[in-house]
Amino acid sequence: MRIIYLDIDSLRPDHMGCYGYERNTTPHIDRIAAEGARFESCYCASSPCVPSRASFMSGRFGVNHGALTHWGPGCEFDYPDGDGHSETVPFFTRYLRNAGYKTVTFSSFGDRHHAWWYFAGWNEVHTHSLKEGNENADEVNAAIIPWLRSYGKEDNYFLHIQYWDPHTMYTYPQEYADQWSGAPLKAFPDEETVRKHQKDSFPRSATFLQTASRIPVTMPEQIRNRGDVAHLINGYDGGISYMDKAIGEILQTLEELGIRDEVCFIISADHAESMGEHGIYMEHANATESVHHIPLIIKAPGVTKPGQVIDGFVYNVDVIATITDMVGLPVPSGWDGASFLPALKSEQWEGREYLVMDHALYVCQRAVRDSKWYFVRTYHTGLYDFPEISLFDMENDPYQTNNVAHLHPNVVKEMDHRLSEWMQINVYKVGHKVDPLQKVIETGPWKYVTVSDWVQRLRREGWYEAANRLEAQYGGSALKSAYGA
């Protein structure tokens, strides 16, 4: 089987045509989706980039692989001690390769995030750039297409291709953003919501949108009104469109090779992106719906049928387990993923009853999601202002604008119980390692922006009250630690 895994950074499903988006952002992906199965409810177990791709490599939740943030405490990828490799928790890539599959990646992820475990098990690693994820899709394709022309007709390979274009900064040709000028825009966030968001004082808020000194024309400096929202969404959709064009070139190359219909395609993302949800724009900063809900499209010749839509809840680690099952290998006992191959075969299958997800880069949160409710417990707010407990009615409030925890104490109790059970299974085992989330809680989620840096910026821009609140919140030893003292 020839398998091509298209790994697209920061991609929201609701900005794709096959998921009902009004704009024609993804015609080539839509074509693949029409030929196979589209999953409505796929979620990354841990966000953002490093935790999610560590799950891709290990088949495990972040709490079990240990890399729950981007560096420092809580980012120690855990693997059994000794010189040999584990059969219980093997690297996904080694597992496929040992079974006779040629494993190849075109990705600068390991270089960008100093994630050296990412390089384990591949036959070939093509970083193709030293831009650390800041390369555009045309630069990625300049390396991939020659490889396909040389080796694409071989059998039994797993080819992983990563595109970064929907991730900031938006550096593709400007016309890909300009094409959406005047195009329909989602109702959220409306003008009233934007005005409320302008009072927020955290990173990637409406007023404090940008942290870079040089801003591409495809991105606004602030979100002051719906015009700025359109500017931002046009930029994001431009990145998606530019990436989709590159996928079209991949499809054309496969057609020229005569193998287009023989390839198994898997299309997904490491995480998605907030576009105004919780007052956060163009960032993946929390364990919420806008960040954790990711696309999943699978077109597998001889397995899937055209036009399948699958509703059950699945994790990204389930995708890895399913690929393993699809090539005839048993799912390793130490993985957290479960195969949903029966769903692809249109057989009897039920998704997970609920999901537990976490984030520990900008805040420390764990969330529980079922068909109606989304529950979030915040352990450390970082530079943000999340309440300790949040509950959202996803049937009536898909953008999570109204915390109804106080109205539904029994639901909060049930969701908290589910979280406790999950932690009992994954954390509170006899002799188990320390929860990596706890390590970040103790040291603080200070990575790209520290308390001292942010207080200084707030004071510099005249937001003295907000600066004072932060200093009061993180006074004493916590503030000294954040200041590097």
**pLDDT band at residue 380 using 50, 70 and 90 as cut-offs:** very high
Say what the pLDDT of residue 231 is.
98
Which tokens in the block code for residue 231? Answer: 């500017």
The full DSSP string for 123-155 is: SEEE---SSTT---HHHHHHHHHHHHHHHTTSS
% of the chain with per-residue pLDDT over 70: 97
Say what the pLDDT of residue 430 is.
56
**pLDDT band at residue 212 using 50, 70 and 90 as cut-offs:** confident
For the cut 90, the answer to whether the pLDDT of residue 293 exceeds it is yes
Query: Which amino acid does the sequence have at 245?
Result: K
User: What count of Cα atoms within 13 Å lies in the side-chain half-sphere of residue 355?
Assistant: 28
For the cut 70, the answer to whether the pLDDT of residue 479 exceeds it is no
The full DSSP string for 346-387 is: T-S---BS-EEEEE-SSSEEEEEE-SSEEEEEEEE-TTS---
**pLDDT band at residue 480 using 50, 70 and 90 as cut-offs:** low
Say what the pLDDT of residue 431 is.
62
Q: How many residues does the chain have?
A: 485
3-state SS class at 91:
coil
Query: Which amino acid does the sequence have at 480?
Result: K
Q: How far is CA 107 from CA 136, 159, 287, 317, 352, in A?
A: 12, 11, 25, 19, 31
For the cut 70, the answer to whether the pLDDT of residue 481 exceeds it is no
Q: Where are the alpha helices (DSSP H) in 70-136?
A: 92-98, 109-112
Say what the pLDDT of residue 34 is.
98
d(CA 301, CA 287): 35
Cβ atoms of 254 and 247 closer than 8 Å: no
Sign of the Cα torsion 92, 94, 97, 102 reads positive
d(CA 422, CA 424): 5
Phi then psi for 139, rounded to 5 degrees? -70, -35
Say what the pLDDT of residue 214 is.
87
d(CA 75, CA 320): 21
Average pLDDT over residues 386-396: 98
For the cut 70, the answer to whether the pLDDT of residue 179 exceeds it is yes
Average pLDDT over residues 183-207: 97
Cβ atoms of 219 and 283 closer than 8 Å: no
Say what the pLDDT of residue 391 is.
98
Residue 308 host element (H or E): strand 308-310
Q: What is the pLDDT of residues 452-471, one digit of tens each?
A: 999 999 999 999 999 999 99
For the cut 70, the answer to whether the pLDDT of residue 375 exceeds it is yes
Say what the pLDDT of residue 477 is.
46
**pLDDT band at residue 472 using 50, 70 and 90 as cut-offs:** very high
Reference 481, options 439, 444, 438; nearest CA is 444
Average pLDDT over residues 187-212: 96
Say what the pLDDT of residue 213 is.
80
Asked, as a colleague might, if the bond just before 90 is cis with ω within 30 of 0, I would say no
For the cut 50, the answer to whether the pLDDT of residue 485 exceeds it is no
Cβ atoms of 293 and 320 closer than 8 Å: no
Cβ atoms of 238 and 170 closer than 8 Å: yes
Say what the pLDDT of residue 273 is.
98
Equal CATH topology for 2-344 and 355-482: no
Q: What is the pLDDT of residues 99-145, one digit of tens each?
A: 999 999 999 998 998 999 999 999 999 998 888 888 999 999 999 99
Q: What is the pLDDT of residues 17-30, one digit of tens each?
A: 999 999 999 999 99
Mean pLDDT, rounded, of the chain: 95
Reference 238, options 289, 189, 168, 285; nearest CA is 168
* pTM for this entry: 0.96
Q: Where are the domains positioned within the chain?
A: 2-344, 355-482
Enter the CATH code of domain 355-482.
Answer: 3.30.1120.10
Q: How far is CA 330 from CA 96, 338, 343, in A?
A: 11, 11, 17
d(CA 169, CA 247): 20
Residue 276 host element (H or E): none
Which tokens in the block code for residue 337? Answer: 């993923």
Phi then psi for 290, rounded to 5 degrees? -65, -25
Task: Give the architecture (CATH level 2) of 2-344.
Answer: 3-Layer(aba) Sandwich (3.40)
Reference 214, options 148, 280, 170; nearest CA is 170
d(CA 324, CA 3): 11
Which tokens in the block code for residue 10? Answer: 């920061």
**pLDDT band at residue 484 using 50, 70 and 90 as cut-offs:** very low
Q: In a 10 Å sphere around its CB, with 0-12 CB exposed, 13-18 middle and 19+ buried, how is residue 212 labelled?
A: exposed
Say what the pLDDT of residue 432 is.
67
